[in-house]
C-alpha cells in the first residue's frame, strides 16, 4: 500500500469541493410549531432530477471496518447527489477523491482525502464525486440515505488491483 491517509476533521470548508456537510452547527434556522421546534433549513442540495430521477430515502446498516483499512474501491453517482446522515452517535470515515477526477482508474493515493465525521455530522456527496462506500467505525451503525431512484444508471464503480491507500485513525 502506497500511502497512509490521516483523516482530518470534517468541516464545511474542507469538504466544500466534494459536497455539503449536513449539521446544525452554523446552519440557517428558525422556530416552527408554535415555537417548540427549531428547523435547521436547507442543509444540502438534493440533486436527483436528471433522467426523470426522484429523491428516495433509505437506511443503510454499515458493519464496522477494521483499521488500518485498505482502499480497494471508489464509486460515484453521475445522475445525482447522495446524502449520508448517521442515526447513531458514533464517528465514521469519509474518503473522497479530487473532484476533477472523472476516470476511476486514474485515481492515485495522492488524489484521496479522508475526513472523520463526528456524531451529528452528515455528508451530501455532489453529483460525480468519487467516494468510498460507507465506512462505519467501532460498531454496526445505521445511516439515513437520501439519493436517487428512477431511470438511468446512477452508479459507477472503480476497483483497484492493489489497494492504493490505508487509513490510519
Q: Which domains does the chain have, with CATH numbers?
A: 4-167 (2.60.120.480)
Question: In which order are the strands placed within the sheet that holds 92-97?
Answer: 8-9, 112-117, 92-97, 135-136
Return the pLDDT at 2: 57
Return the pLDDT at 18: 97
Q: Strand, coil or helix: what is 109?
A: helix
Could you tell me if residue 30 is left (phi over 0), alpha (psi between -120 and 50 degrees) or otherwise beta?
beta
Return the pLDDT at 67: 84
Q: Enter the DSSP assignment of 14.
A: H
Distance CA 105, CA 86 (A): 30
Mean pLDDT in order along the chain per 10 residues (169 residues):
80 96 94 94 94 95 90 94 96 92 82 93 97 95 96 92 73
User: What is the grid cell recorded at 120?
Assistant: 451529528
Return the pLDDT at 168: 66
Amino acid at each position: 500500500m502506497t500511502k497512509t491517509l490521516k483523516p482530518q476533521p470534517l468541516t464545511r470548508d474542507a469538504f466544500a469541493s466534494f459536497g455539503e456537510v449536513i449539521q446544525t452547527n452554523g446552519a440557517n434556522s428558525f422556530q416552527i410549531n408554535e415555537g417548540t421546534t427549531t428547523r435547521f433549513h436547507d442543509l444540502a442540495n438534493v440533486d436527483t432530477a436528471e433522467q426523470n430521477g426522484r429523491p428516495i430515502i433509505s437506511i443503510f446498516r454499515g458493519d464496522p471496518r477494521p483499521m488500518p483499512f485498505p482502499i480497494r474501491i471508489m464509486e460515484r453517482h453521475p445522475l445525482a447527489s447522495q446524502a449520508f446522515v448517521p442515526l447513531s452517535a458514533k464517528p465514521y470515515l469519509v474518503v473522497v477523491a479530487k473532484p476533477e477526477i472523472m476516470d476511476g482508474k486514474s485515481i492515485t493515493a495522492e488524489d484521496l482525502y479522508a475526513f472523520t465525521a463526528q456524531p451529528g455530522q452528515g455528508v451530501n456527496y455532489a453529483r460525480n464525486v468519487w467516494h468510498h462506500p460507507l465506512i462505519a467505525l467501532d460498531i454496526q451503525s445505521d445511516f439515513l440515505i437520501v439519493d436517487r431512484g428512477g431511470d438511468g444508471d446512477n452508479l459507477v464503480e472503480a476497483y483497484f488491483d492493489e489497494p492504493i491507500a490505508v487509513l490510519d485513525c
